[in-house]
Structure 1
Amino acid sequence: VDKVGGPPVRTYDMPESFKPSAAGTGDDLYRRSLYTFWRRTGPAPVLETFDVPKRVVCIARRETTNTPLHAFVLLNGPQFVEAARVLAEKLHRECEGNRERMIDRAFLTLAGRAPDDTERQILSRMFDEQRQWYADHPQQATEYLSVGTKARGDAVPAADLAAWATVVNALLNYDGCVVKR
Structure 2
Amino acid sequence: MAAQPATISDADKAELARLQQRRAELEKQIAALPAPTKVYAVLTEPPPPVKLLKRGNPEQPADEVSPVSLACVTGLKPELGTLQSSDGDRRKAFAEWVTSPANPLTRRVLVNRLWHYHFGAGLVETPSDFGLGGGLPSHPELLDWLADELLAQRWSLKAIHRLICTSAAYRQESNSGSVPRPSGSGSADPRAGPLPDGRGTDRARSIDASNRLLWRMNPRRLDAESLRDSVLSVSGKLNAKMFGPGYRDFEYQEEYAPVYRYITPDSPDLWRRSVYRFAVRTTTHQFLTTLDCPSPANLVPARNTTTTSLQSLTLLNNDFMLRQSSYFADRVKSDAGTDPATQVTRAFQLAFGRKPSPIEATAAEALLESRGLPQLCRMLLNSNEFVYVD
1:172 paired to 2:377: no
Deviations 1:52-83 (A, max 9, x none): 13444253x54433222222111111111111
Match among 247, 271, 286 for residue 9 of structure 1: 247
Amino acid at match of 1:57: L
Q: Aligned pair in 2 of structure 1 residues 116, 26: CA closer, same or farther (>3 Å)?
A: same
Residue in 2 that maps onto 1:85: 326
For the structure 1 residues 65 and 20, does the alpha-carbon distance in structure 2 shift closer, same or farther, using more than 3 Å as the test?
Answer: closer
For the pair shown, the structure with the greater C-alpha radius of gyration is 2
For 2:242, the aligned partner's letter is V
Distance 2:311 2:347 in 1: 21
CA separation in 1, counterparts of 2:370 and 2:335? 23
Say which structure is richer in helix: 1
Output one character per residue of 1:110-151: Cα deviation in whole Å (capped at 9) or x when no partner. 123322111111111111211xxxxxxxxxxxxxxxxxxxxx
Structure 2: gaps spanning 5 or more residues: 1-238, 252-258
RCO (CA 8 Å, sep 6+): is it higher in 1 or 2? 1
Whole-angstrom CA distance in 2 between matches of 1:84 and 1:43: 24
Paired letter, 1:70: Q
Return 119-128 or 37-46, whichever deviates more. 37-46
Name the CA shift for 1:10/1:93 in 2 (closer, same or farther; >3 Å).
same
Q: Quick check: 1:57 aligned with 2:304?
A: no
Indicate conservation of the 8 Å contact 1:95/1:101, yes or no. yes
Q: Is the 8 A contact 1:36 1:44 kept in 2?
A: no
**Partners in 2 of 1:120 and 1:66 — Cα distance?**
29
Match of 2:359 in 1: 118
RMSD of the alignment, in Å? Answer: 2.3
Listed as ranges, the matches of 1:1-181 within 5 Å are 1-11=239-249, 14=250, 19-20=260-261, 22-23=263-264, 26-55=267-296, 56-59=298-301, 62-130=303-371, 163-181=372-390
Partners of 1:98 and 1:25 lie apart in 2 by: 29
TM score, norm. by length of structure 1? 0.69
Aligned to 1:142: none
Partner residue, 1:146: none
In structure 2, give the amino acid aligned to 1:167. Answer: L
Q: Which amino acid aligns with 2:376?
A: V
Contact 1:9 1:37 in 2 (8 A): yes
Q: In structure 2, what is the Cα distance between the partners aligned to 1:165 and 1:48?
A: 26
Q: Is the 8 A contact 1:111 1:177 kept in 2?
A: yes
Instruction: For residue 389 of structure 2, give the secondary structure of its aligned residue in structure 1.
Output: coil
Q: Quick one: percent identity of the two aligned structures? A: 26
In structure 2, C-alpha distance between the alignment counterparts of 1:44 and 1:78, rounded to whole Å: 14
Contact 1:10 1:22 in 2 (8 A): no
CA distance in 1, matches of 2:347, 2:321: 15
Distance 1:25 1:72, change over 3 A: closer
**Mapped contact 1:10–1:23 kept (Cα < 8 A):** no
Post-superposition offset of 1:22: 4.8
1:167 Cα deviation from its structure 2 partner? 0.7
Letter aligned with residue 316 of structure 2: L
Which residue of 2 is the match for residue 138 of structure 1? none
The normalised TM-score by structure 2 is 0.34
Kept in 2, the 8 Å contact 1:87–1:168? The answer is yes
Three-state SS of the structure 2 residue aligned to 1:37 is coil
